[in-house]
């Protein structure tokens, strides 16, 4: 499966996807990385790994429609079958999302549908919830919405800072995103009634309780 990764910055999850596709000899191949920022650090990482890069700078376009038209052209010309958003800091229009329906996925640093949007870790800590995590999901027109493919959880510690919590959640993201891409490329994921169904999935038998005493 031909995969494109869209980034705006360092591309931390992009690195995990590249590593997984290379080391596991899986059914997915990252064929291009596209950024809306010319100075995104992740671009050099992609080039160092021999992956084609392209810049579609949103600031050069008069409106979102023209920006997305050029973005779509870049994706179509590369024969992309799956798009992975990895820290891509642009909201995509319903027209774009619907065109790529069930071929466009995102990772978010919370247990959706809780804590959509930005400043996630700060809001998690301030809310007093005991558990947080990450979610990989198919993209829909609403922000941070769509059928959930995989989630992973971590406890929130009493002394957590935004940075410490973000580090633990990022570790989970680097585990979950490659799994989701592999499952999709293997044809194991179907969307039925807006639920992502994973064929032959093992359900975890462990509990996460916080605090325990």
| Active site members | 108
Cα(192)–Cα(125) distance, rounded to whole angstroms?
34
Q: Is the dihedral of CA 192, 115, 5, 55 positive or negative?
A: positive
CA-based nearest residue to 71, from 51, 87, 91: 91
Listed in sequence order, the residues at least 6 apart from 212 whose beta carbon sits closer than 8 Å to its beta carbon are: none
Handedness of CA 211, 121, 172, 100 (dihedral sign): positive
82: tokens are 């799956």
* Nearest alpha carbon to residue 133 among 160, 111, 166, 162: 111
């Amino acid at each position: 499966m031909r995969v494109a990764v869209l980034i705006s910055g360092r591309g931390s999850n992009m690195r995990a996807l590249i590593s997984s596709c290379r080391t596991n000899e899986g059914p997915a191949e990252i064929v291009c990385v596209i950024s809306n920022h010319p100075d995104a650090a992740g671009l050099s990482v992609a080039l160092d790994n021999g992956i084609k890069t392209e810049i579609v700078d949103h600031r050069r376009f008069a409106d979102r429609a023209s920006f997305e038209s050029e973005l779509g052209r870049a994706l179509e010309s590369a024969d992309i079958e799956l798009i992975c958003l990895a820290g891509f800091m642009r909201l995509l229009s319903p027209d774009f999302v619907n065109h790529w329906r069930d071929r466009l996925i995102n990772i978010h640093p919370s247990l959706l549908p809780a804590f959509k949007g930005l400043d996630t870790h700060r809001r998690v800590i301030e809310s007093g919830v005991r558990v947080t995590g990450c979610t990989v999901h198919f993209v829909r027109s609403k922000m941070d919405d769509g059928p959930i493919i995989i989630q992973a959880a971590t406890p929130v510690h009493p002394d957590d800072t935004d940075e410490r919590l973000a580090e633990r959640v990022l570790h989970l993201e680097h585990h979950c995103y490659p799994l989701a891409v592999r499952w999709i490329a293997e044809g194991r994921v179907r969307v039925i009634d807006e639920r992502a169904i994973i064929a032959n999935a093992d359900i975890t038998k462990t509990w996460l309780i916080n605090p325990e005493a």
